[in-house]
Structure 1
Amino acid sequence: MLVAAAICPAPPMLVPELAAGAAAELGDARTACSDALSVLAASRPDRLVVVGACDQDHEGSYPQGARGTFRGFGAGAESDVQLGEGEEGPRLLPVPLAVGAWLLGRAGWGAAPVEGLGVAEPLDTARCLETGRELAGRDARVALLVMGDGSACRTLKAPGYLDERAAAFDAEAARALGAADVAALAALDPALAAELRAAGRAPWQVLAGAAEGAGLEGRLLYEDAPYGVGYFVAAWS
């Protein structure tokens, strides 16, 4: 059963070493992520699953000990991360899961065993919900760290350029995440999310499936759109 969830954005820029001179711009987001992770630890889960979007070549499970790297973003080996302690797995973590591993390492996570799940961005809503239900049923007390961004079309300089629909999409996503509104998350339109380059849609709908019947309450801890991308932090407990 799902007992807690933390929802965090997944940009590599969240890692200060990658942001360089712009590191302070996401300082409030990092603080909010730390607060959300403290809710996970307080829930005393039997298992933590980090869920993030990926391409279809990288979907699937990643065991505890799996490693991730930010070398593709100009970082050195010193910025490599590991998903908890354990033997290195055969595959590198997708970037959203690597950012999640970085957050957990920064928080000194040791409250429960941890693993990762890469969710292909095109995955349809029904399969996302079913995946979430399967995750929630694996242990008596399951927690999720859900890594995902909103639209990437909020400004002219955004990665996806300006799309007038982006602000409304992000506003509804932020409301649903802050209210732990499972039905509203399940109702997000995959086609619109894809057009707006909202990589968080599939992971959020996995969360919606996991949270069905759990009776969790949510708090929105951070909402902003630096760089024209919607970033949200929320905690469910």
Structure 2
Amino acid sequence: MDSAGDDTTQYRVLVVDDDEEVAATISLYLEDDTNLETVIETSAADALDRLDDEDIHCVISDYRMPRATGIDLLEDIREDYPALPFLLFTARGSELVASKAISAGATDYLPKGSPEKYDLLANRTRNAIEQAEARAELERAKARFDALVKNTEYTVITIDEASRIEYVNDAVEELLGYAPEDLDGEHLDTIIPDHPAADHETAVENSLEAGEKHVDWNGTEFSAVHADGTELTVEIAFDEYETGSAGHLFTGVMRRADD
């Protein structure tokens, strides 16, 4: 199944309910959102066939249906589509059903009821799809990054605002003799003791307040310490980016200065 793209993309939601009238009502509320379109199936078996044939971005299912429950459907879906958003929307629910649904990998669980419940369902459906799309894009970006850094001869290193090492690729072992896991969480001065850490961290703090880019280490040479204690000169080109959860990070490419 292909993932959706930009804001103009219509996300397709599969509504599974043996009561066609209820399914139609769900569809009506969802399609008030111009980015959502719906398809309806009245059995778990037909829903699985639909998933095989079409690009579906979210499934909304009733719980109690002939021959298979919504949780049975969820378990089957999770075998082939582990990341597909799945919302259980049922009038015959309970805390036990909710617990089983979440344990089986449901994205969300909502009881049926007043019209407000349908509005809530539409909102949670859109949120579930957008979060799944964001996770998928992050995974794609990470895969591209991993492929890049694993196939480069240069050492790639990421540090946080406090100059703690967040990531370093395998090439660091060839350059400095450390296994990547040995440097995870260590301060940058473990390998570059004379780097301007205090100045760097002060610049970070000041620039966060001013909203300006603050570190320019492009092509800067430093004395680095090999794991065996010997020193060598390395050249580092750092760039800065901001993440939602980790704040400002700095990723650099490091090589021997005489390469």
TM-score class, shorter: under 0.3
Structure possessing the higher radius of gyration over alpha carbons: 2
Structure with the higher fraction of residues in strand conformation = 2
Tell me the TM-score normalised to structure 2 length: 0.24
Tell me the TM-score normalised to structure 1 length: 0.25
